[in-house]
């Protein structure tokens, strides 16, 4: 069974500082991880992904790190901006044999001005 856990339900950081959101996974049979961002009253949107053959992927202020030995994934936002305040999800890229895709609760990031 493919499991990804976000152990921190919320995170608060000051504008301009770094935000670090974490995910841990139990099954190594992934080729990609994808992060999504969700604002209130909107559907989630794709943010950034990382391939299992890489340990880092960067897109502007967003960088995702993959530590395969620790089965740990993290998203860094530098510098954090108030507009980054949202809920962030790192679901397994797909589940089972039919695409059963579980999202979970995510991590709520609050960036204070």
CB 94 within 8 A of CB 33: no
Q: Using CA of residue 75, residue 37, residue 48, residue 26, what is the dihedral sign?
A: positive
The DSSP secondary structure of 25-80, one letter per residue, reads ES----SEEEEEEE-TTS--EEEEEEETT-SEEEETTEEEEEETTTTEEEEEESS-
Contacting another protein (CB under 8 A), which of 57, 62, 93, 110? 93
Residue 34 interacts with another protein (CB under 8 A): yes or no: yes
88 binds another protein (CB under 8 A): no
Q: CA 23 to CA 90: how far, in whole Å?
A: 7
Q: Which of 84, 85, 86, 106 touches another protein (CB under 8 A)?
A: 106
Interface with another protein by CB under 8 A: which range of 17-25, 32-40, 59-67, 69-77? 32-40
Determine, following the binding rule CB under 8 A, whether residue 49 of this chain makes contact with another protein: yes
Q: DSSP character for 82? A: G
Q: Which is nearer to another protein, 14 or 26 (CB)?
A: 26
Q: Which of 19-27, 57-65, 75-83, 94-102 is the region at the interface with another protein (rule: CB under 8 A)?
A: 94-102
Binding site for another protein (CB under 8 A): 30-32, 34, 36, 41-46, 49, 51, 87, 89, 93-94, 98-106
């Amino acid at each position: 069974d493919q499991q990804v856990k976000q152990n921190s339900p919320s995170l608060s950081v000051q504008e301009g500082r770094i935000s670090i959101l974490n995910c841990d996974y139990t099954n190594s049979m992934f080729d990609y991880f994808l992060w999504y961002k969700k604002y209130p009253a909107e559907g989630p949107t794709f943010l950034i992904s990382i391939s299992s053959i890489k340990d880092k992927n960067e897109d502007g202020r967003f960088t995702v790190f993959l530590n395969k030995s620790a089965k740990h994934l993290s998203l860094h936002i530098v510098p954090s901006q108030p507009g980054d305040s949202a809920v962030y999800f790192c679901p397994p890229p797909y589940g089972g044999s039919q695409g059963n895709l579980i999202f979970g609760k995510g991590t709520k990031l609050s960036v204070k001005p």
